[in-house]
A and B are shown apart, each in its own frame.
Chain A
Amino acid sequence: MDRFAPVRSVAVPFARDNIDTDQILPARFLHLPRDADHGACLFRDLRWRADGSEDPDFPLNRAPWRDVRIALGGRNFACGSSRENAVWAMHGHGFRAVIAPSFGDIFAQNGLKNGLLPVRLPEATVAAMIARAEADPSAELTVDLQAQHVIDADGIAHPFEIDPFARRCLLDGIDELAFTLSHHEDIAAFENRIGRDNQ
């Protein structure tokens, strides 16, 4: 995993509540291998119409937001299916952070493990950022994980909470598995305690 550097970018609003991962990555792309271009399938059925043409109303198809690294979401963003492919699709498209009032639990976990930072900010703050982005699509935000804040288009910093371990993993570009494997003796001790097969 790459080290997570501060992200400065325009921010595209996905302003609905309860956007589910079936929308972010439709199920018919779930068989694609990990290294396939998941980004090309992101929001596939909302970005393109049935006849194959782009839907000009979908935010990702509008000029300043075509090249974007920060998303703004509604409540319970990316709820539903546990598909990690939804994170791969957002990351593959170029996203590095999603700012929303709340997230589907599994999506947020998956994001932390794949360099897509879920940032929880108060609902009013996110709503203001969405309103600003809609009024001025070229307005830029900065997501700074080291400093643990988002700087809005007016230069105001909004602090956010994040699990300190996940933060360290992201900043240093290390993954959790290596850390856990280094604890194999603790796991073995646990197994001995319960019996290797507590069937």
Chain B
Amino acid sequence: MPTMFEKIWNGHRVLEREDGQTLLYVDRHLLHDGTAPAFEMLRKRGVKLRAPERAFATPDHYMPTDTRRIDEIANPELREMVASLTRNAAAEGFTLFGLDDARQGIVHVVGPEQGISQPGMLIVCGDSHTSTHGALGALAFGIGMTEVAHVLATQCLWQRKPRAMRITLDGALAPGVTAKDMILHIIAHIGTAGATGHVIEYAGSAVRALSIEARLTLCNMSIEAGARAGMVAPDNTTFAYLAGRHYAPTDWDRAVEGWRALCSDADAVFDTEVALDAGAIAPTVTWGTSPQEAVAVDGIVPDPAAAPDAARRAEMTAMLDYMDLRAGQPVAGIALNRVFIGSCTNGRLEDLRAAAAIAQGRRVADGVRAWVVPGSAPVKRAAEEEGLHQIFLDAGFQWREAGCSMCLGTNGEIGAPGERIAATSNRNFRGRQGPGVRTHLMSPAMAAAAAITGRITDIRTL
């Protein structure tokens, strides 16, 4: 009867409160360099970490991606964010993959990569894209800073049980279409609040056919549809991915047996069901300032005049104004200033391979600045072993160190007002990549193609 989500939820219940909230035990608490205020909260109360062995940290948000040296961070406030994580790890005794560690990277890339994130686990992190880890069959969600402090102190978190949603994607993806296009398509379909209050389980033959890296991309943007979490049932693809990773279970066979039992039962009932045809998905690009404002790359910028009501008309008009686009304008052909390939959405090895396949033997268009920022130090090393960095460098891309970089820009890496950026990250909000910057979200291959032509380009025609 139960869904996978319910099985994991039930396995982590410590207590129920009179109001129906549940105290859940947290298996893995991931930390990054934005977590300083939570440690401050604990210090003020004189409380120590309950289970430091369950906390794993890495600097990603504040570290510039042109250096690995903390003392080279020019802004003292940003430098302190990174430095304080190192100090807190030493004082509290949790594991840190610091800048001098070969495992450093974006927290949501590092967790799966090191085998820290596993099926059946309850994983939290003070970052909304924690939903990423659900790709391995975990229940993983983002929390606020006060909740981070609460988890550090108690290893537990109060939650009201979300509802269960299943999004089934059957069919085969067309050539040139990736997990990024799938999730942009889903969000465009159900809306940015379409999964509010739900945990999404992605199912169907198109999802089963995805690699773990692609499933991580899919689950990553669940929050952009309003969901608490996104997950994919673990299968042989999952087990093959985890086998041999540093933190993988030692009693492997028993672990796999337990993981197999996690899948939603055949008669499990979901509160909400959505079914989409994977074969109908085209390479997808956003035109507006919310991830739901996405269209097929061979489509046009929509017309506010066709909006169902005045409020939506005003919203769309404001977006077109900010984005400096015209209704009816073809999406392909919009000229760009910059390209950002990276982030916890699309900064893994497969993403870089897809981008390199497009970049190979071509040149970045004149006047376009294009960056490739690996999601982690291991991704960077693996890409270099395959020679991907040379392809990018030869084509005129910058090849940088691992971190969040232009996804959020808290490390100072932002665009200039008015610049238009093709980005493989997850948010195109106004000002997300710097005040006045215009962001178009797309897949790594599409971003690479945009760099080559200097325009949004349908890779199927490149």
Chain A residues in contact with chain B, CB under 8 A?
15-18, 20, 22-23, 26-28, 30-34, 45, 50, 74-76, 79-85, 87, 102, 104-106, 109-110, 113-114, 163-166, 175-177, 180-181, 183-184, 186-187, 190-191, 194, 197-199
Contact = CB atoms under 8 A, between A and B. Distances in A.
A183 B15 contact: yes
A114 B144 CA distance: 11
Interface centre among A84, A175, A194 (most CB of B within 10 A): A84
Contact of A194 (B25, B126, B314): B25
B410 A76 contact: no
Given A34-B40, A45-B431, A82-B143, A27 B408 contact: yes
Interface stretch (B189-197, B261-269, B345-353): B189-197
B40 A33 contact: yes
A50 B27 contact: no
Chain A to chain B: the 10 pairs with minimum beta-carbon distance, closest first = A110-B144, A82-B128, A84-B144, A84-B145, A76-B193, A22-B429, A165-B19, A82-B142, A113-B146, A164-B19
Q: Secondary structure at chain B's binding surface: helix, strand, loop or mixed? A: loop
A32 B34 CA distance: 10
B431 A180 contact: no
B387 interface: no
A80 B409 contact: no
B154 interface: yes
A186 B24 CA distance: 11
A17 B457 CA distance: 31
B153 A181 contact: yes
19 contacts: A16-B318, A27-B409, A27-B410, A31-B77, A33-B40, A76-B196, A79-B226, A80-B128, A80-B223, A80-B224, A102-B193, A110-B145, A180-B23, A180-B153, A180-B154, A181-B153, A183-B15, A186-B15, A190-B14
A28 B410 CA distance: 5
B432 interface: yes
A76 B290 CA distance: 12
Contacts of B408: 27
Contacts of B324: none
Given A110-B144, A166-B19, A186-B15, 12 more contacts: A26-B435, A27-B432, A31-B34, A50-B436, A82-B142, A84-B144, A105-B226, A105-B228, A163-B160, A177-B154, A180-B23, A187-B25
B158 interface: yes
Nearest to A184: B154
Contacts of A197: 53
A178 to B, nearest CB: 9
